[in-house]
Chain A
Amino acid sequence: AQKVTQAQTEISVVEKEDVTLDCVYETRDTTYYLFWYKQPPSGELVFLIRRNSFDEQNEISGRYSWNFQKSTSSFNFTITASQVVDSAVYFCALRGTGNQFYFGTGTSLTVIP
């Protein structure tokens, strides 16, 4: 079974604080891909990052960083020095064999100025 769990439903932080969004996944596939998407109020999902199951290197892109650990089936997302524009719902997703995405329930992030 494929499943993605985002235990944090809502998070509020004050601007410039760091925040980590948790993602835990389940899959029996040996080859799979993990994604993070941002959904602003407009509704359109915006792609942030993709990782395949054979690449456990952490990645940093500006204020964003991702920590992929197969041993704990986690793919956590950290925003450093958060900004008001980071306020959105963030989804973690898993794609195994085939082209179907399995999404977590999302984490709503509010950055307070």
Chain B
Amino acid sequence: KAGVTQTPRYLIKTRGQQVTLSCSPISGHRSVSWYQQTPGQGLQFLFEYFSETQRNKGNFPGRFSGRQFSNSRSEMNVSTLELGDSALYLCASSFSRGGAWDEQFFGPGTRLTVL
């Protein structure tokens, strides 16, 4: 079974630009969560999508948005990039939403550098 895939793996953008990151969950998984990892803040939850609906959202500005398609693939968009958005963005998928033994599987991440 293929794992969670994220594209692209590396990205360099300049301030003010926007960026779209993609995540393909494990086949059959319907929940996709996004996390931002920075040296200063650690791993922080961005949002979760389940069945094409955003179910949970972390404490990030509106510049961060996402969506999920009918095939469960998810995209994350960051508009008007700032230097502080440089981070590793991790996507995680799970079959459902936090069932007793529902495990999240993480992708390799997209490393975004904002210049």
Chain A residues with CB under 8 Å of chain B are 37, 42-47, 50, 52, 91, 93, 95, 97-106
Q: A43-B111, A98-B98 are in contact. Are A103 and B90 (CB under 8 A)?
A: no
Number of inter-chain CB pairs below 8 Å: 62
Contact of B108 with A42 in the complex, beta carbons under 8 Å? yes
Pairwise interchain contact B101-A50, C-beta atoms closer than 8 A:
yes
Partner pick for A99 among B31, B43, B105, B109, CB 8 A cutoff: B31
A98:B42 contact, CB within 8 angstroms: no
B104 partner residues in chain A, CB cutoff 8 A: 47, 99, 101
> What is the minimal beta-carbon distance from A35 to any residue of chain B, in angstroms?
8
- Hey, which chain B residues are within 8 Å of A104, CB to CB? 42
Measured between beta carbons, the chain A residues less than 8 angstroms from B103 are 47, 50
Q: Is the CB of A44 within 8 A of B106?
A: yes
Chain A proximity mask over B88-101: 1 for CB below 8 Å, otherwise 0? 10101010011011
Task: Kindly identify which residue among A45, A99, A103 contacts B97, using a CB–CB cutoff of 8 Å.
Answer: A99
By the criterion CB–CB under 8 Å, are A45 and B45 in contact? no
